[in-house]
């Protein structure tokens, strides 16, 4: 990670089909050029992601995650910046 790169944690609440949601998140992160450092499912209604990369690419995945989709029904997102 270079000095231009940032790291954030996304706490996403909603309804998820775990396998398909996780697969879609991994593909989208790769497609947008961000590194998916961690993905956790603390409950059926939550997904926690830690992503790193260039600032503008990280905001692209934040915007994408807000939209939800077929396997992600999003009700709330919290963003935490990590040093």
Q: Is the pTM of this model over 0.85?
A: no
pLDDT, tens only, 39-58: 998 888 898 999 999 999 99
User: Helix axis angle, 18-32 relative to 55-67, nearest 10°?
Assistant: 150
- Identify the architecture of domain 5-82 in CATH: 2-Layer Sandwich (3.30)
Reported as a pLDDT band with limits 50, 70 and 90, residue 3 is low
pLDDT, tens only, 4-22: 789 999 999 988 878 888 8
User: 45 CB contacts (<8 Å, ≥6 apart)?
Assistant: 13, 14, 15, 16
Q: Give the start-to-end residue ranges of the domains of the chain.
A: 5-82
């Amino acid at each position: 990670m270079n000095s231009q790169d940032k790291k954030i944690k996304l706490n996403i609440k909603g309804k998820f089909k775990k396998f398909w949601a996780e697969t879609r998140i991994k593909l989208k992160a790769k497609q947008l050029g961000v590194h998916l450092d961690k993905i956790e499912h603390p409950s059926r209604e939550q997904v926690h992601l830690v992503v790193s990369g260039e600032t503008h690419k990280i905001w692209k995945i934040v915007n994408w995650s807000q939209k939800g989709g077929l396997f992600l029904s999003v009700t709330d997102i919290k963003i935490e910046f990590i040093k």
